[in-house]
Amino acid sequence: MPRGRYSLHDTHDHAPLGEEHFHCAPGPSGWRYVAQRTSPSGEHAGSVDLTLDELGRPLRLELHAASWRIRGGAMEGVTWVRTDPAGEHATEGNTQAHAFTGTSPAFLVALSRMLRLEPGTGPVRVRLVAFTDPVLAPRTVDQSWALLGSTVHSTDSGPLTVDEYQVSELDTGEQHTVHIAGDVVLAAPGIELEELETPPSSFG
């Protein structure tokens, strides 16, 4: 069960956004990721709880940030409920999208698991519902993902395969690279892996 800590940064000015303390593990029905978010000052800032089914689809998602809460999952596309800080009003959403995304590294692992790309194949276009910090406002985005290649590294605990993805934002044309080993993001824009207590899990 990988357990560790990511630091999060603004992708434009590199300002620190806080940290995400996580643990994750594959299971008989898929994969689960649980994390607590802290602010740059160390205060609690929210949480992430994402469960995937065996095909990589979001079986259950729960996000907390700034007193806002999201609960969602894959149902006729993706469906979610967003609750306001006072808990008096809840708004429901549904759209024909493949999955969810946001600032958590969990979403990158989840999407790579869902796509199961092979090196050399053309980019795959995906539609996602992004929940933007700090109020978890939903926004639909289109991306394309391509697996550029995989590299095997020798480590003290055995070979480690690192997949390199090219992700393109289709509305802006921006491109960036994401490096994932098993169920851990090693590097991505705005994300740095600071600590990892145990090796990444392999999905097989």
Residue 148 pLDDT: 94
pTM here is 0.94
Measuring CA to CA, how many Å separate 188 from each of 29, 166, 167?
A: 27, 10, 10
158 dihedral zone (left: phi>0; alpha: psi -120 to 50; beta): left
Burial of 22-33, coded b for 16+ CB within 10 Å and e otherwise, reads bebebeeebbbb
Residue 29 pLDDT: 78
Residue 156 pLDDT: 79
Residue with tokens 């996580």: 22
Q: What are 15's two structure tokens?
A: 């300002």
Q: What is the pLDDT of residues 90-132, one digit of tens each?
A: 999 999 999 999 999 999 999 999 999 998 777 999 999 999 9
Residue 28 pLDDT: 76
pLDDT < 50: residue spans in the chain? none
The Cα–Cα gap between 98 and 58 comes to: 9
Query: Residue 174 phi/psi, 5° resolution?
Result: -65, 140
Residue 120 pLDDT: 79
The Cα–Cα gap between 92 and 51 comes to: 20
